Structure 1
């Protein structure tokens, strides 16, 4: 049986570094289809 890999957090790496790379384009998910709002019965 193989040993499971254990992933430890890298405390020297800040969360901000995850978002330092290229960003999405300006039109990414600017519009998306949504279902019409549902009317629900009152209590």
Structure 2
């Protein structure tokens, strides 16, 4: 990037912080519960 760079973001929904997991331990539990992968 340069000092005069422009970033454009296109999204289908507005950002909602509640839609994201912010704690790694909670993330590990969710992934392991999905049955698709396992994280130690």
| Class of the TM-score when normalised by the shorter of the 2 chains | under 0.3
TM-score, structure 1 length as denominator? Answer: 0.24
- Tell which structure's C-alpha radius of gyration is larger: 1
The TM-score, its normalising length taken from structure 2, stands at: 0.24
Task: Tell which has more relative contact order, 1 or 2 (C-alpha 8 A, sep 6+).
Answer: 2
Task: Judging by fraction of residues, say which structure has more helix.
Answer: 2
